Structures are given as C-alpha cells and as structure tokens.
Amino acid sequence: MAIGRTSRSQSGGMMFDVARAVVAAPTRALPPRERPVGAGALWFATHAVSLKAGQTVVLLALAAALVPADLGVVALATLVSSAVALVSGLGASAALVRWEGDVDRAARSAVSLALASGAAATLAVWVSAPALVSALGAGPAAVGPVRGLVLTAPLVAAAMVTLELMRRRLAFGRRVLPDVAASLLGAALAVWLVGRGWGVAALVAGQVVQGVAVLLLAWCVHPPVRPGWHADDVRGLLRFGLPWSGAHLLELVQVNLDYVVVAHLLGAVALGHYSLAFRVAAVPYLLVAVVLSSAAFPVLCRRRGAELRATVSDLARLSLVLLLPVCGLLALLADRLVLLGPAWAPAVPVLRVLAAYALAAGLLHVTLTVLHAMGRPGEAVLARLAHLLLLLPALLLLAPAGVVAVAAAQVVVAAAVLLAALARVGSLLGEARTR
C-alpha cells in the first residue's frame, strides 16, 4: 500500500522497521562518530549492488545477443542519457542536502526546476539526435535509442528532489528503496525483452519503465512535493546546484571522452571491446566510492573542525581499504571476459589496466565529495576541468596505439588529478585547524 501524508500502513511500517534494524545492526560496533556513515553506506551499498547487478545482467544479455558494434551504439546512447540526467534539475536536489533555510519551501522550487530543465533537455536531445549521434561517430541506428533513453528525464529529476530530502534527513532506507525496486524492475523487463529479440530497444523499454517507477515509488515513501517558486530559494539552490551539476557533467564528459575518441579513431568494434571493459571496471567505483560518498556527504555537511578532520580521515582510510582488494581482484579475473565468446578477448588486457584506473578514479570521487561538503563546489569543478583538459591530449596522443593505450592514459591522468585534489583537501583541513 502507498504511504499517506501523515501515516503509513501497519504492514508498511513493519517492513521499514525490520529493514532499518537489519541495516543498523552491523553499525553498532562502530564508534558513534562513524555510525551515520556506516548505516548510510550499507543502505547505499544495497542500492549500488542492486543497480549494478541489474545493469550488468542487461549488459551481459545484450553482449550475448549483439555484435560489438551494436554494443558501441548502446554505449553512446547511454552517454547522452547520463548527460541529460545531470542537466535535469540543475543540481537543485543535491543543494537541498546542505540547505540551511526552509527546506520544504525550497523543495517546491527544486521540483519546478527539475521539471522545466528536464523537459527542455529532453526536447533538445529529441530534436538534435540525428546531428548528435553523427557528431559522436555513430550511425543512424543510434538515433532511436538516444531519444528513447531520455524520455523520462523530467520524471526522474522530480523524483530526485523527494529522494534527496530523505538523504538530508539521514533516512537512507527510504532514500534507496525506490531506486532499488525501480532499477530491478527495469532490468528484469529489459532482460526479458532481449530474450524475445528486441535487441537495443529492450534497454530503452526497461529505462522508461524504471523512470516512471522511481517517481511513483518515491511518492510511496514520502508525500509528493508540489511544484512552487520562490525567487530567493531558486537563487540559493542554483548557487550550489549549478557548480555541483557542472562538476558532475564534467566528470561525465571526462569519463566518456575516451568513448568518443575511440569511436572516431578506432571504430565501433574497438569501442565495443573498450566499453565492455570499462563498464566492468566501473564496478569498484560504483560499489565503493559512490556508495561511501553518497552516505558520507550529508554527514560531512554537518561536521566542523576536529570532528570534520576525523571523519574525512576515517572516510579516506575506509575507501582505500575497500578499493584496493576489489580492484586487484578485478585485474586477476579479467580473463573471464572470454566466457562471453572469443570475440571479446581484446577486452581482457584493457580491463586489467582499467582496474588501476578504477582505484584512482574512486579515490578522486571521494576526495571531491569532501570538497563539495566543505562548501567548495567551484573547486571541484576546477578539478574536473583540469582532468578533462589533461585527458584530451593524452587520449589523442595514445589512442592510435590501441585501446590498451587509451586505458593507460586514463590511469596516468586520474592519478595526477587525485594527488592535486588530496593536497587541496589537506590544505583546507589544515586551515580549519588553525582558525
């Protein structure tokens, strides 16, 4: 049953209480300072595992049913969809996590921003899709998937406002459950349709169902936020949200720049090999770095002085302890990609190199999350911009040597930007100590 505005059904209440107790139990052994991050990390780990498991199953189903060139079309369509998702909402939902005024009133303005920007981005992609896929090096076959994957962008952006209100209140269970259920539903539909011969269209159908479901499920765990508009709130939301959105958009461009370069210089088959390896290498990034950052961000926003320094230290140590073995295991098991068929053998050495990139990129994501939480989103934008500007010439220089060289360029540049970001965070924490 749906949860009402002021109460929830007895069975629904029991479900949330049991889920909360199960997730909270492993965190009781943690020091009090770390318990909110630990509980949130467990919830976001559930979210990330479910989301990545669904994506991986769909990816493997598509890989088994399609040729590498078709998987390259999927990669480019997903890139455009991810960019639209970041533009939709203009970062207003993330700004709510740090909001210091009337958050319920600000949320109404955030919903209006989400619906308007999401609709505008969707319309722009729909109209420009033929020219866009041509510029990205894809053929006319990519137009349909690109248009289909952005259809629900306004709905997802509106849902994120409700879900980020839950994260602000440290209600991590209610924050992740709609996403988990929607992603599993969309993945199940996509895999079923792949089996019935839908091909790439199965991915589009699954994404549309997932987008509608996440909004409806968000309304089940929190009363719907009605659109509204307050000029001061809009300015405040955009003051934080635009740099936040810009940093993540630059990250998306930086992460996918290699796709564009490989497509242009090496062709669709090489892109298929590279995209499969990169998607598998993203597992540690999503399951560790994004999970920890998502849980830590609202906690870091509330910490000051020595307590902030201690929390950042704990976060850095935990990130390294978790990422190292996962990335090492990824490199060791890279040769298992050939189980998908001999056509995927060229992706094996790429994955081994990208395992090192996953470590550097994961630590960088955590470090830039700390900058955001310290109220420095502009510096996070600069870090992402520096990463992009360093990566482009490196890719253009090394790409002619093949996809393994492209992966090596990713490792070197990510490591350099990580060292600079760590130095900046250390400097800011040092300044806070002397105040």
Q: How far apart are CA 237 and CA 109, in angstroms?
A: 9
Q: Examine residue 121 and state whether it is found in any structural domain, yes or no.
A: yes
pLDDT at 101: 84
Q: Examine residue 9 and state whether it is found in any structural domain, yes or no.
A: no
Q: How far apart are CA 113 and CA 115, in angstroms?
A: 6
Q: How confident is the model at residue 48 (pLDDT cuts 50, 70, 90)?
A: low
Tell me the one-letter amino acid at 258: D
Q: How far apart are CA 357 and CA 410, in angstroms?
A: 6
Q: How far apart are CA 405 and CA 90, in angstroms?
A: 35
Length of the chain: 435
Q: How far apart are CA 46 and CA 37, in angstroms?
A: 14
pLDDT in tens, 156-176: 999 999 998 888 887 777 888
Q: Which residues contact 43 (CB under 8 A, 6 or more apart)?
A: 23, 172, 173, 175, 176, 295
Instruction: Out of 54-63, 260-269, 301-310, 361-370, pick the least confident.
Output: 54-63
* Mean pLDDT, rounded, for 224-229: 91
pLDDT at 45: 61
Burial of 176 by CB count in 10 Å (0-12 exposed, 13-18 middle, 19+ buried)? Answer: buried
Tokens of 6: 């002021």
Q: How far apart are CA 327 and CA 198, in angstroms?
A: 34
Quick one: CA dihedral 70, 388, 150, 140, positive or negative? Answer: negative
With a cut of 80, say whether residue 404 has pLDDT above it: yes
Q: How far is CA 64 from CA 73, 82, 341, 349, in A?
A: 15, 24, 8, 20
pLDDT in tens, 322-348: 899 999 998 898 888 777 777 788 888
Exposed e or buried b per residue across 272-290, where buried means at least 16 C-beta atoms within 10 angstroms of its C-beta: bbbbbbbbbbbbbbbbbbb
What would the DSSP string read from start to end of 187-219? HHHHHHHHHTT-THHHHHHHHHHHHHHHHHHHH
Q: How far apart are CA 59 and CA 73, in angstroms?
A: 12
Q: Examine residue 312 and state whether it is found in any structural domain, yes or no.
A: yes
Which residue range is the domain that position 421 belongs to? Answer: 37-434
How many domains is the chain partitioned into structurally? 1
Torsion of CA 285, 288, 293, 296, to 10 degrees: 180
Query: Which residue from 12, 229, 188, 212 is spatially nearest to 105, judged by alpha carbons?
Result: 229
Q: Examine residue 19 and state whether it is found in any structural domain, yes or no.
A: no
Query: Which residue from 168, 159, 167, 133 is spatially nearest to 148, judged by alpha carbons?
Result: 133
With a cut of 50, say whether residue 24 has pLDDT above it: no
Helix (H) or strand (E) holding 239: helix 231-266
Share of the chain above pLDDT 90, in %: 23
Q: Examine residue 289 and state whether it is found in any structural domain, yes or no.
A: yes
With a cut of 70, say whether residue 3 has pLDDT above it: no
More confident residue, 255 or 383: 383
With beta carbons less than 8 A apart as the criterion, state whether 160 and 89 touch.
Answer: yes
* Mean pLDDT, rounded, for 352-377: 91
Instruction: Out of 78-82, 192-196, 215-219, pick the least confident.
Output: 78-82
Q: Examine residue 50 and state whether it is found in any structural domain, yes or no.
A: yes
Exposed e or buried b per residue across 327-344, where buried means at least 16 C-beta atoms within 10 angstroms of its C-beta: beebbeebeebeeeeeeb
Quick one: CA dihedral 284, 287, 290, 296, positive or negative? Answer: negative
Q: How far apart are CA 66 and CA 198, in angstroms?
A: 11
Q: How far is CA 162 from CA 83, 86, 214, 223, 399, in A?
A: 21, 16, 11, 8, 42
Q: Examine residue 10 and state whether it is found in any structural domain, yes or no.
A: no
Q: Examine residue 387 and state whether it is found in any structural domain, yes or no.
A: yes
With beta carbons less than 8 A apart as the criterion, state whether 109 and 233 touch.
Answer: yes
What would the DSSP string read from start to end of 301-335? TT--HHHHHHHHHHHHHHHHHHHHHHHHHHHHTGG
Helix, strand and coil content of the chain, in percent to the nearest 5, comes to 85, 0, 15
Q: Which residues contact 424 (CB under 8 A, 6 or more apart)?
A: 371, 379, 383
pLDDT at 359: 94
Question: Side-chain half-sphere of 42: how many Cα atoms within 13 Å?
Answer: 18
